Amino acid sequence: MNQLALSDEILMQVEKPARYIGNEVNSVIKDKAKTAVRFAMCFPDVYEIGMSHLGIQILYSMLNEWEDVWCERVYSPWVDLDAIMRRESIPLFGLESQEPVRDMDFLGITIQYEMCYTNILQVLELSQIPLLSEDRGEDMPIVIGGGPCTYNPEPIAAFFDLFYIGEGETQYRPLFDWYLENRSQGGTRQDFLRGAAKIPGIYVPQFYEELYNEDGTIRGRRKRYDDIPDVILKEIATDVTAIPYPMKPVVPFIKVTQDRVTLEIQRGCIRGCRFCQAGQLYRPVRERDVDQLKEYAVEMLKNTGHEEISLSSLSSSDYSRLDELLDFLIAECGQRHTNISLPSLRIDSVSLDVMGKVQDVKKSSLTFAPEAGSQRLRDVINKGLTEDDILRGATLAFQGGWTRVKLYFMLGLPTETEEDILGIGDLSNKIAAAFFEAVPKDKRVNGKVQIVTSTSFFIPKPFTPFQWAPMCTKEEFLDKAHLTKQGIMSQLNQKSIKYNWHEADVSVLEGVLARGDRRIAKVIKKAYEKGCMFDSWSEYFHNDLWLDSFKECGVDIGFYTTRERADDEIFPWDFLDCGVTREFLLREWKKAREGTVSPNCKAQCQGCGANRFGCGICYDKDGARG
């Protein structure tokens, strides 16, 4: 084991020192003298969150399979260690080598959530890397951003040298090969970036300039060089069965958010919910081979000792071989006394057969997402669910032995009315009533059911049909939450229903960061300098400091949130191509306002544009063809 970067004295002062010592089961230690590229893979949040992220595990495993690359993990130090590192001038380090991040070739940061933007600056500053890309010298790592938030990278473009747009399995090898070639030729940092900008899926923000109209909207973009692309098309793994997968995922010493084996069964979603960014970004749907998944499950359980396995996808019940896979897992997990987690189930797809199969497996709560309280609004968002579907699915769940159901809704959706909001309480009540009707009194565990109804606030995201939509103010959001609570409290089964709602001020900020442009970077930097960090943690979120930062930078929040966009407005992210066309998204936006439902990909192709990739459901014998 390498010498620890932190002394015993420091480790004794911080909460959960195991976050920082590395050497976990299945972590990869290499001889740095025999590696040509050193890569620090960072998740800018606390260890327990970052260790639960499948994408990090996939890339960590893939990069470390290459003999000339050593990929290490980096997470945001928690606030206690953060203070010590600043006071003692201790540089942020990789967990595997315990050596400073600043001495590595690359710092790759996965960006899953807008509220981690100030933590990106924390990671850079603790690594003793200049916050702004333009201030970095030849001896500094190349800072790469990846993940879903890079589909609008402009608010954080000033902090990154380049962004990797799309799925990480395809272009890291060409990027590293170019890095090594440039280094062997004595090339500069700028030479490397010039070459990298020509690699598919790579965006180098400093080579582009935003141009603005007098009203603050974007007029266009200007390139610094003619030989770099006008539009960057996302990278996609066309055959998800053939790509690497972590057979030996790192097993933490301490309990993390998702302490389990994660089996990714497919990528993409057929459903086309109009609010859902992931449903657009990861098109087309691509399934993993079921026999491969069986092998993976056995191997990963053996290599980790985990007591739970989770099926990962955007809509697990749409996987075409789910029944066969579950039959296999039930047999395996029964022998191992291992729990099976079935997230991302659509309530209309949960069959009695599936429920029966997991009857004897340890049960946790089931999660369903009706999203809206009325059928009218579910049609607006293209959820594809009727009330009968929901109640039938809930009944099957209760008959299968579940007594705790989590329901997720959104407030502030386009065209929402008071009737839609009150419908949340009404639907929650009907689901509770379905339990008492479906389960005889002598078979009720603890005699009752628990319905946990949660509402988040609608945030329009790039590359969705709702990217044109206005967003509510904080006050409007809170009024809607209060009305929802009143509606639930008026129900007959209110004692069986628990209601939670998201913080409104956090949602407003997320809305700004999601659809912002390059002018937002100065606000992020100012907020960080004022002490903002771990903004996704309610106890550390300081809305007043953010509001002061917007005011001091002269940036109007409403310009990015409450303003409805014109059909032809140029968006900050329009230079990226996620696979679905703007024409398709605009068509869906107009259908939403008419309350018109679009069929899912299996039922009928909607001509979204993702068939250009030549793979997945677009070309399956049972799938749609566009």
Which contiguous run of DSSP H or E holds residue 106?
strand 106-110
Q: For 274-320, give the DSSP string.
A: TT-HHHHHTPSPEEPPHHHHHHHHHHHHHHH--SEEEEESS-GGG-T
* pLDDT attached to residue 352: 54
Query: Cβ atoms within 10 A of the Cβ of 283, count?
Result: 27
Residue 355 confidence (pLDDT): 60
Would you state the pLDDT for residue 462? 98
**pLDDT lower than 70: segments of the chain:** 1, 344-345, 347-365, 446, 621-626
| Whole-number pLDDT of residue 353 | 63
Say whether 389 sits in a helix, a strand or coil: helix
φ, ψ for residue 614, nearest 5 deg: 70, 35
Per-residue pLDDT, 441? 85
pLDDT at residue 359, rounded to an integer: 52
Instruction: Round to whole Å and give the CA distance between 215 and 120.
Output: 30
Q: What is the pLDDT of residue 376?
A: 97
User: What is the H or E stretch that residue 65 is in?
Assistant: helix 54-65
* CA proximity to 71, closest of 158, 168, 140: 168
**Is 457 within 8 Å of 477 (Cβ atoms)?**
yes
pLDDT of residue 623: 47
| Amino acid symbol at 79 | V
Q: Let me know: does 172 contact 134? Beta carbons within 8 Å.
A: no
SS3 label, residue 371: strand
pTM: 0.95
Residue 225: how many other CB atoms lie within 10 Å = 11
> 221: helix, coil or strand?
strand
Secondary element (H or E) of residue 387: helix 387-399
CB neighbours of residue 500 within 10 Å: 12
Q: pLDDT of 394-427, one tens digit each?
A: 888 888 778 888 899 999 999 999 999 999 999 9
Strand pairing class (266-267; 286-287):
antiparallel
Could you give the CA distance from residue 547 to residue 473 in angstroms, rounded to a whole number?
14
609 φ/ψ sector (left φ>0, alpha ψ -120 to 50, else beta): left
DSSP code string of 442-463? GG-GGG--EEEEEEEE----TT
What integer pLDDT is reported at residue 339 of this predicted model?
84
Domains observed in the chain: 8-23+37-233 (no CATH), 260-361 (3.30.750.210)
Q: Is 201 helix (H, G, I), strand (E, B) or coil?
A: coil
> What's the confidence (pLDDT) of residue 399?
83
Contacts of residue 550, defined as CB under 8 A and 6 or more positions apart, other chains included, come to 523, 556, 557
